[in-house]
Amino acid sequence: MKLVATARNYREIKLAYRADLVELRLDLYPFKIDRLPKMRYIISCRRLVDRGKFIGDERTRLERLKKFIGVAQYIDLEYDLPDEIFNEFNCKIIESYHNFKMTPSYKVLRDLVENGRGDIYKIATMGKDKDDVLKIVKLLTEYENVVAFLMGRKFTFTRILGAFLGSPLLYCSVRSPVAPGQVKLRHVTKILKYLGYHPS
Q: Which residues are catalytic?
A: 98, 122
Q: At 163, which helix (H) or strand (E)?
A: helix 157-164
Q: At 130, which helix (H) or strand (E)?
A: helix 130-142
Q: At 186, which helix (H) or strand (E)?
A: helix 185-194
With CA atoms as reference, report the closest residue to 52 among 17, 23, 90.
23
- Residues 197 and 1: their CA atoms lie apart, in Å, by 10
- Residues 167 and 161: their CA atoms lie apart, in Å, by 9
